[in-house]
Amino acid sequence: MTHTGQFCTFYLDHLLFGVESLKIQEVVPYRPLRPVPLAPAAVSGLMNLRGQVVVALELRRQLDLPERPAHMTPVCLVLRASEGSVCLLADEVGDVVQVADDTFEPAPQTLPPRLRSMIRGVHKLEHQLMHVLDTDRTCEVQAASEERSEP
Amino acid sequence: MSDLDIVKEFLIESNENLDRLDRNLVELEKHPADREILADIFRTIHTIKGTSGFLAFPKLEAVAHGGENLLARLRDGELRLNPEITTALLALVDAVRQMLETIGANGSDGNNDYPELIARLKILQEGSAAPAPTMERPAPAPAPAPAPPPPADTCQKFQPTPDRLGALLVAQKRITAEELARALQDQEKGNKRPLGEILVGHGALTTEELQESLKILNESRSTPTEDATIRVRVAQLDRLMNLVGELVLARNRIQQWVGSKSDSGLVSTSQRLNLITTELQEGVMKTRLQPIGNIWSKFPRTVRDVALGCGKQVRIEMEGRETELDKTIIEAIKDPLTHLVRNAVDHGIEPPEVRQAAGKPSEGCLRLRAFHEGGQVNIEITDDGAGLNLEKIRDNALQRELISAEQASRLSERELCNLIFLPGLSTAEKVTNVSGRGVGMDVVRTNIEKIGGMVDIQSKSGQGTTVRMKIPLTLAIIPALIVTSAGERYAIPQVSLLELVGLDRDQARTGIETIHKAPVYRLRGRLLPLVCLNRELEVGARAANAATSSAVSADQSCLLDFAKARYMHEQWLDRLRQVLDGSATMTVEQAGSPTQCGLGKWLYESGLKDYSNIPEIHQVEAAHKCFHELVRGVVALKAKRDGAGAEHAYTELGQASGKVLDLLRAVEAKVLSCQNVNIVVLQADGREFGLVVDEVNDTEEIVVKPLGKHLKDISVYAGATIMGDGKVALILDVLGIAQRAHILAEGREPSRAETEPAAAASAENKQKLVLFAGRAGARMAVPLDLLARLENIPGSQVERSGNQWVTQYRGQILPLIRVTHALEERRQMPSEQDDALPLPTSAMLQVLVLENQQRSFGLVVNQILDIVESALETQSPPTRPGVLYSAVIAERVTEILDVPAILNAGEIRPPAAAHRAGS
Contacts of B716 in chain A (CB under 8 A): 38
Q: Specify the range with the lowest mean pLDDT, choosing from B102-106, B272-276, B549-553, B574-578.
A: B549-553
Q: What's the pLDDT at B555? A: 40
Chain A residues within 8 Å of chain B (Cβ atoms): 32, 34-40, 43, 45-48, 50-55, 57, 83-84, 86, 139, 141, 143-144, 146, 148, 150-151
* Residue among B490, B704, B725, B728 with most chain A CBs within 10 A, to mutate: B728
pLDDT at B149 over 50: no
Q: Specify the range with the lowest mean pLDDT, choosing from A31-45, B589-603, B644-658, B807-821.
A: B589-603
B879 or A88: whose pLDDT is higher?
A: A88
* Residue among A36, A85, A137 with most chain B CBs within 10 A, to mutate: A36
Contact assignment for A48 to B539 by CB distance below 8 Å: no
Q: What's the pLDDT at A10? A: 93
Question: B708 CB near a chain A CB, below 8 Å?
Answer: yes
Q: What's the pLDDT at B241? A: 79
Considering only CA atoms, give the Rg of chain A: 15
Q: What's the pLDDT at B843? A: 72
Contacts of A150 in chain B (CB under 8 A): 538
Contacts of A57 in chain B (CB under 8 A): 710
Contact assignment for B711 to A143 by CB distance below 8 Å: no
Instruction: Give per-residue pLDDT as tens, B844-853.
Output: 788 888 877 6
pLDDT grade for A93, boundaries at 50, 70 and 90: very high
B746 or A134: whose pLDDT is higher?
A: A134
Q: What's the pLDDT at B786? A: 77
Question: B714 CB near a chain A CB, below 8 Å?
Answer: yes
pLDDT grade for B162, boundaries at 50, 70 and 90: low
Contact assignment for A43 to B711 by CB distance below 8 Å: yes
Question: B540 CB near a chain A CB, below 8 Å?
Answer: no
Instruction: Give per-residue pLDDT as tens, B382-436.
Output: 988 888 777 878 887 787 777 777 777 777 777 777 777 776 666 555 444 444 4
Task: Tell me the pLDDT of chain B averaged across its residues.
Answer: 75
pLDDT grade for B838, boundaries at 50, 70 and 90: low
Per-residue pLDDT, averaged over A71-82, amounts to: 87
pLDDT at A150 over 60: no
811-840 in chain B: CB under 8 A from chain A: none
Q: Specify the range with the lowest mean pLDDT, choosing from B240-249, B579-588, B824-833.
A: B824-833
Q: Specify the range with the lowest mean pLDDT, choosing from B112-126, B323-337, B424-438, B666-680.
A: B424-438
Contact assignment for B538 to A38 by CB distance below 8 Å: yes
**Which chain A residue lies closest to B727 (C-alpha atoms)?**
A48
Q: Is residue B881 within 8 Å of B917, Cβ to Cβ?
A: no
pLDDT grade for B542, boundaries at 50, 70 and 90: very low
Question: B242 CB near a chain A CB, below 8 Å?
Answer: yes
Q: What's the pLDDT at A11? A: 92
pLDDT grade for A8, boundaries at 50, 70 and 90: very high
pLDDT grade for A76, boundaries at 50, 70 and 90: very high
Q: Compute the nearest-CA separation of A113 from chain B (Å).
A: 21
pLDDT grade for A4, boundaries at 50, 70 and 90: confident
pLDDT at B206 over 80: no
pTM of the model: 0.51
Contact assignment for A39 to B250 by CB distance below 8 Å: no
* CA angle (B771 as vertex; B767, B777 as ends), nearest 5: 145
CA A6 to chain centre: 16
Residue B325 DSSP one-character state = E
Long-range pairs, A59-64, Cβ under 8 A, ≥24? A59/A12, A59/A17, A59/A88, A59/A89, A59/A90, A59/A138, A60/A12, A60/A13, A60/A89, A60/A91, A62/A118, A62/A138, A62/A141, A63/A12, A63/A115, A63/A118, A63/A119, A63/A138, A64/A112, A64/A114, A64/A115
**How many Cβ contacts (< 8 angstroms) between chains A and B?**
79
Q: What's the pLDDT at A145? A: 42
Q: Specify the range with the lowest mean pLDDT, choosing from A21-35, B52-66, B151-165.
A: B151-165
Q: pLDDT exceeding 90 applies to what percent of chain B?
A: 2
Contact assignment for B714 to A38 by CB distance below 8 Å: yes
pLDDT at A125 over 80: yes
pLDDT at A126 over 70: yes
Contact assignment for B728 to A53 by CB distance below 8 Å: yes
pLDDT at B218 over 70: no
Contact assignment for A150 to B538 by CB distance below 8 Å: yes
Respond yes or no on whether ipTM tops 0.85: yes
Helix (H, G, I), strand (E, B) or coil at A54: strand
Which distant-in-sequence residues (6+ apart) come within 8 Å of B276 by Cβ? none
Q: Side chain identity at B274, as an amino acid letter?
A: N
pLDDT at B12 over 50: yes
Q: Name which of B537, B538, B705 is nearest A53 (Cβ-Cβ).
A: B705
Question: B533 CB near a chain A CB, below 8 Å?
Answer: no
Q: Give B409-461 as a DSSP string.
A: HH--HHHHHHGGGSTT----SS--SSS-SS-SHHHHHHHHHHTT-EEEEEEET
Considering only CA atoms, give the Rg of chain B: 39
Q: What's the pLDDT at B39? A: 81
Q: Specify the range with the lowest mean pLDDT, choosing from A5-14, B697-706, B712-721, B753-762.
A: B753-762
Q: What's the pLDDT at A9? A: 93
pLDDT at A151 over 60: no
Q: Is residue B275 within 8 Å of B239, Cβ to Cβ?
A: no
* Residue among B537, B693, B694, B710 with most chain A CBs within 10 A, to mutate: B710
Q: Name which of A38, A55, A151 is nearest B716 (Cβ-Cβ).
A: A38
Instruction: Give per-residue pLDDT as tens, B447-491.
Output: 887 777 888 888 888 888 888 888 877 776 778 899 988 888 999
**Which chain B residue lies closest to A41 (C-alpha atoms)?**
B710
